Amino acid sequence: MPINDVQYDGPDGSADLKKLARHLAWGMERNALFVYLGDGVDLASTSERSAFGAGGFHETTGKRLERAAMEDVKDLYRVLGPTKGNWLGFVQGHHYFEFSDGHTSDTLLAEWLGAPFLGDSALGYVRFKKDDGHTASIKMFLHHGSGGAGVMPANAINKLYHMKVGYPAVQLFLQGHVPQLGVVKIDTLDITDTPEPVIFDASTRFVACGGWSRSMQQCSNHKGRKQGSYAEKAMMRPGVMGGAVIRLKPEREQQGNKSIYQVDVKVTI
Ligand SMILES: [Fe+2]
């Protein structure tokens, strides 16, 4: 289960940690494995980090900022904590806080949850092994995502579609960032390079993995008058609340009089 774009901005902020906690609990009941696709805490965006990095703050101001950021990271960890040990890896996004000791909000969460921190993008695979020695595996590409969300439903997928050219053997592309939930499947066939070749389904899925922060809130106000977030002001469409669920199941597929052991993929959004 990909987890991304919580964009936690404090106890009275836009992120719905209760909803996220229910989603995680649902996954843990099924012993799910998780991948993190960035933007867990809102503080700070890429441009804000540049501003902090440019300096001009007193040392004590910097320390107070670090304390505030650490509070947010700990709040988010309290929700993610029950999933400890069930993580395949963390890729970072645009929003994360850099502490003076070199840690970031993402590297800390990865450490505390027992997950490998993978940087900006990752290629990996999941392999199933049967008792008789047969294996089935699927390759994945993970990235937080980049660029504007646009307005059309397939926008999130467009960029992933281009990534397929760069990583042709990958069958599962995951990204966050936009924040939208969506899945597009392209049907392709491949053939085994075995003495008895078998043609098999090698379809690819592109998944936009959602998010957990409300871009618009009923009766939102600021400075004592009704007004919305930057997303509402910029007339962006409402962000999704929820995450994709990907089920991988090794199955023996019959192709004519031949069969092949491969991974069946189902994506729920
Ligand atoms: Fe982002």
CA separation for the pair 246, 125 (Å, rounded): 14
Measured CA distances, 265 to 4, 143, 215, 245, 268 (Å): 20, 19, 31, 10, 10
The pLDDT score that the predictor gives to residue 97 is: 93
**Residue 42 Cα to ligand 1 middle (Å):** 10
What is the average pLDDT across 94-102? 92
Would you call 54 helix, strand, or coil by DSSP? Answer: coil
pLDDT digits (tens, 9 = 90+) for 38-92: 999 998 787 777 777 666 677 788 788 889 999 999 999 999 999 999 999 999 9
pTM of the full structure:
0.90
What is the average pLDDT across 248-257? 87
Strands 2-3, 34-36: parallel, antiparallel or unpaired by DSSP?
parallel
Measured CA distances, 221 to 61, 212, 226, 232, 238 (Å): 28, 20, 4, 12, 17
The pLDDT score that the predictor gives to residue 150 is: 67
**Residue 189 Cα to ligand 1 middle (Å):** 33
The pLDDT score that the predictor gives to residue 256 is: 78
What is the average pLDDT across 182-203? 90
**Residue 198 Cα to ligand 1 middle (Å):** 41
**Rg for the chain, CA atoms, rounded:** 21
CA separation for the pair 43, 172 (Å, rounded): 30
- Tokens representing 115 are 């997950």
Residues with CB under 5 Å of ion ligand 1 are 39, 93-94, 177
**Residue 141 Cα to ligand 1 middle (Å):** 17
Q: In this predicted structure, which of 153-162, 165-174, 241-250 has the lowest mean pLDDT?
A: 153-162
Q: Where are the domains of the chain?
A: 2-268
Question: What are the two backbone dihedrals, phi and then psi, of residue 112, each rounded to the nearest 5 degrees?
Answer: -65, -30
